[in-house]
Every structure is written in structure tokens, then in C-alpha cells.
Amino acid sequence: DEDEEISFKYVYIPCDDGKEIQECVMRAKKSQSMQCMLDYLRPYFAEAAKIKSEEQRRKLKENISAELAKNAAKGGMKSDDISATMIDSMTESQFVDIVPLIPAVAACNWMSVTMYVDDKGSAKELPVNARATAIVSMAGGSVSVLGDAFVARAYDNEAEDLVRHDFLLEELAADAPWLREAWRVKLIVEGNRDSKGKEDEHLDEARIVSKVLEDGFPFVPPLHQPVHQDARKEAAEKIRAKGNEYFKQGSFEDALFEYYKSVRYLSIMPAVLDDKATASLVSALSNAAACWLKLEKYKLCDKLCSNTLQLEPKNVKALFRKGMALRGMQQWQEALTALEQAASLNPSDAAVAAERAKAEKDVKKHLYGW
């Protein structure tokens, strides 16, 4: 029955840190399931940052014009294509911007978590919503949220009717299951895009990253609460140490979970960037690469070695493991190049020398037929 009333819970995150985050209830007709949040939020955002003077209107038009020109340049358009009528229309209109925390894709059985924000937050020069921005980061995103924000959940398979589900205040906890799901889906979506369906190692990465393994620390640091960077560094060190224990036991998947978690504690925005944190991040990435090498997941090993080398270009272990991974992927010349770099940095390392010799034979055999 399309006239049947539905109700669902969602979360309101005020931009003002002095106001509490609230759990709210939306009621609407079933036929309005898709539009009800947008219909409520358009007038809300219009009123929350209302234009109260001609000076504000002029400034808003200037900002909108600048944003349109910037977007036009990206799309190959000319600024002349932007008419005064278009700017006036956008100034008077109000839309809602959608930030997908979990996108509605098959990987999550179409169960999405979405943040709704003012689409003109930048043009209106709204302040940064620190707590909402932190929640985006905790879910693996990197969007700076401006103004008030709202979070809701829905089953959103385009082949069927959208169905609203509750999103509760308690789900903002740093160990909430949906955050694991957000990171799992992120890795699957990115992996599918990069591999174009030809490889599936990223599915192993997504499975391991999102597993449940108790170590005394939440899945991500609770950035929406006051968390000192020193506490994040200390937690990352302890998590990495737990990974080292699993590695010594030969439990490589459990070790990987801890190493990835250690990386999350340091790298999600706002990242911890001092020398000590960078050294810890390098160790976690390099150790994770070693695990993938043990598991013969060469592409993932190569990826993490590359990440390590971006932070520390002369890291011999990363170059060594990268060379071994590239050999496993039968990329003979690239493997030799990486191993030659490792050997030049540490000529006395017998393991590097031995692997380099193997790579030289690979090149001669597979590229030159010797």
C-alpha cells in the first residue's frame, strides 16, 4: 500500500560542536521513501543558512560563479557558457549533496549508508563540521563536510523500490559493524575498477581488512571525539606489535588485519604525519607486504611495497619484496630493476644478491631465450 506510513531513524550531526548529535525519526508515506529525506532537507538547509541581506546574496553569487567556472574548466567548457540566468537560478535554488559512506552496490547487497549535506556549503562559506568530517574519515572517505549533516540508511537496489532502514546514534561508535563494511566495500569497488574484472586478489584484501579480531582497540580511531595524535600513534604501535606476534606464529591473515589496522590509525584524515608516525607507517606497510608475499598474493604485495616506497624510496626490504612479487607476477625486467636497486643500497645483503641473480636468469631466459 503506497499510502502506508513508514518511519525510520536517522542521525543529525550539528556543525556546532556545542550541540549534541541527535537520533531522529522520519515519518512519511511509503510512496515517498526515496524523496522524504531530500524533501525535508532542502528547506532545512535553505533556512539554516538563510540569505539575510543583499550583500550575502552578492557574495553567494560570486562564489557560485567561481565554482561554476572551475567546474566548467575541468569539463572542457568555456566560462562564457555560464550565463547570468544560470547563476541566478542556482543562487535561488536549494539542493542536497549526497556523500556515500557505503554506496548502494551489489558488494553490500545494496544496503547503503548516506550522509546528506548542503550542496552550497562552500559557496555559502559554511564552517567545517568537524564531527561529520571525522565520521566520513572513519568510513574511509576524505570529504570535508561543511554545515550540518545527516546520516541515514537504505536498501537501494534500482531494480526494486527503495526501503528505508534505521541508522542509530550508537552506530557512530568506532567499532560499529557498518564501518567494517564501509572499508570492505571500498576495497572491492576500487579493486573492481582497477582490475577491470580480470583479477580478484582485492577480494582477499577486503575480506581480511573487515574481519572481526579482538585486540583491545576499535576498528578505527574515534575521530569524532577528542583524540590526541599521540594516543593514535601509541595505539598504532601496539596494534602493529600484535601483528608481529601473529606473523611469528605463521598466522599471516591475522597479522595482515593488524597491520592494516595500524595503517588506518595513522593515515585516515587527519593523518598523523610526524617522523615517528611515518616510521611506524612504513613498518606496518612493509610487514603487510611480507604477509602477502608469504600468501603468494603478489599483486597485493607489490601494491603495498609501492606504498612503502612512496614514503621511504630507499627502503631495501620494500624493494626486495617488490622484486620477489614482480617475479611471481612474471614481470621479469621490472623485478630485476627493483632488485638491482635493493642491491645497490645494501650490497652485503646475501638474500638480495641471491634474488637478484635469479632475476637476471629470468630476464635472460624469458626475454632473450638464453
The whole-number pLDDT of residue 158 equals 79
**Which tens digits make up the pLDDT trace of 130-178?**
999 999 999 999 899 999 999 999 999 877 788 999 999 999 999 999 9
Residue 367 has pLDDT above 80, yes or no: no
Residue 61 — very low, low, confident or very high, per pLDDT cuts 50/70/90? low
Residue 195 has pLDDT above 90, yes or no: no
Residue 75 has pLDDT above 70, yes or no: no
**What average pLDDT does the structure give for the chain?**
87
Percent residues over pLDDT 70 in the chain:
84
Instruction: Decide if 219 contacts 172 (C-beta within 8 A).
Output: no
Residue 219: C-alpha distances to residues 29, 177, 182 (Å): 37, 9, 11
Which stretch of 10-14, 30-34, 103-107, 131-135 has the lowest confidence by average pLDDT? 30-34
Greater confidence (246 vs 82) lies with 246
The whole-number pLDDT of residue 104 equals 93
Residue 49 has pLDDT above 80, yes or no: no
Instruction: Decide if 13 contacts 65 (C-beta within 8 A).
Output: no
Instruction: Decide if 289 contacts 255 (C-beta within 8 A).
Output: no
Cis? peptide before 270, omega within 30° of 0: yes
Residue 94 — very low, low, confident or very high, per pLDDT cuts 50/70/90? low
Residues near 98 by beta carbon (within 8 Å), at least 6 away in sequence: 114, 115, 116
What's the CA gap between 50 and 248, in Å, rounded? 60
Which residues sit opposite 252 in a β-bridge?
A: none
Report the candidate in 270, 313, 264, 310 with the shortest Cα–Cα distance to residue 284. 264
Report the candidate in 322, 327, 362, 360 with the shortest Cα–Cα distance to residue 342. 322
Residue 14: C-alpha distances to residues 128, 170, 300 (Å): 11, 16, 40
Instruction: Decide if 169 contacts 20 (C-beta within 8 A).
Output: no
Which stretch of 86-100, 101-115, 221-235 has the lowest confidence by average pLDDT? 86-100
